[in-house]
Amino acid sequence: MTSATLTGAGDERVARVGLVKRLLLKPELGSLIGAVLVFGFFAALSDVFRSARGVANWLDPASSLGIMAVAVALLMIGGHFDLSAGVQTGTAAITSGLLTTYYGVNTWVALLLSLLLCLAIGFINGYLVVRTKLPSFIITLGTFLMLQGLNLGVTKLVTNTVVVSNFNQIVGYDVLKAIFASEVTIAGASFQIAILWWIVATVLGSWVLLRTRFGNWIFAVGGDLTAARNVGVPVQRTTIALFMTTSFAAWFIGTTQIVRLTSIQAQAGFGQELIYIVAAVIGGCLLTGGFGSVVGASIGALIFGMTSQGIVYAGWDADWFKFFLGAMLLLAVLANQYIRRFAEQSRR
């Protein structure tokens, strides 16, 4: 965007690169086109889909996925996956729930403890990855399984059931509800406050990625680790910080869920980790790291929300949703592959 002014009028070779190809280098472009198409498709099929109530309905699943997708996209651009991100939302909610409802711990202390627990999990994920240099896929698969077992085991041990409930009876629940789960009525439809947090997360994440030193380091660590280390980028700190950011997002979403539902299943979040990755990939993140967009990941989450609700409004069987999602993922991966080859093509 700045290049036109920088190169001035003189260099005829700039024109040869071509506007189309320059646009292709914007990682979020594909997802934007996809979102417009998906919206147009379902809006044509169903009146409710494009009504205020419909919009509020599909923005809701998009928002909680979107907050996670922002963090997961940053992590993926930094070159890593976190398969434990989904179950960490459950871990956060179960910890807060058990501490308050079963052990009578002060609400704020309990929330702080569950936050610290999540950050510690993120730290351990990151630390193991930078220390062992093993793929994050396998490290976080380990923590994923461990946490899944812990979530169920501890919940059963303490409650003798697989659910932690009565969260609405704790002290300060009203305040929590206002922060995490209040609703705003616009045009007769009630919108979740999570949508606002989603927008905040997207703007903040995008700003960090594109406008700060840390953002430059994220691209570098994911793009070429040795090169980053050789020019003095603190690669270990950057990687660990990214895992901890993902854990923070998981804590936020887990808390949102237990506040909204007032109870949480011990299996909560299980399987979601792949959906986060799908949203990030639809948004233009490369599986190999070093390239991607936070805004794109949010648009990926939006596509997810629109498709999941749109299929219901269109009167189809919900089973089709997975098919659509998979098809979109494949399309996105192919497009990303092409863009990458273009960006990396070398005339050596």
Q: In whole angstroms, how close is the CB of 109 to other proteins at the nearest point?
A: 26
**Residue 39: which residues within 8 A CB-CB, separation 6 or more?**
306
Name the packing angle between helices 107-132 and 235-261 (round to 10°).
Answer: 150
Nearer of residues 24 and 113 to other proteins, judged by Cβ = 24
**Residue 30: which residues within 8 A CB-CB, separation 6 or more?**
282, 284, 296, 332, 335, 336, 339
Nearer of residues 42 and 291 to other proteins, judged by Cβ = 291
Q: Is 129 left (phi over 0), alpha (psi -120 to 50) or beta?
A: alpha
Q: In whole angstroms, how close is the CB of 285 to other proteins at the nearest point?
A: 12
Nearer of residues 160 and 226 to other proteins, judged by Cβ = 226
Q: In whole angstroms, how close is the CB of 200 to other proteins at the nearest point?
A: 14
Q: In whole angstroms, how close is the CB of 28 to other proteins at the nearest point?
A: 15
How many angstroms separate the most distant Cα atoms in the chain? Answer: 75
Alpha helices in 212-261 (DSSP H): 213-223, 225-230, 235-261
Nearer of residues 22 and 131 to other proteins, judged by Cβ = 22
Q: In whole angstroms, how close is the CB of 228 to other proteins at the nearest point?
A: 7
Binding site for other proteins (CB under 8 A): 1-3, 6-7, 11, 13-14, 17, 25, 207, 211-213, 215-217, 219-220, 223-224, 226-228, 230-233, 290-291, 340, 343-348
**Which of the 8 DSSP states describes residue 192?**
E
**Closest to 291 (Cα-Cα) out of 348, 208, 227, 220:** 220
Nearer of residues 5 and 160 to other proteins, judged by Cβ = 5
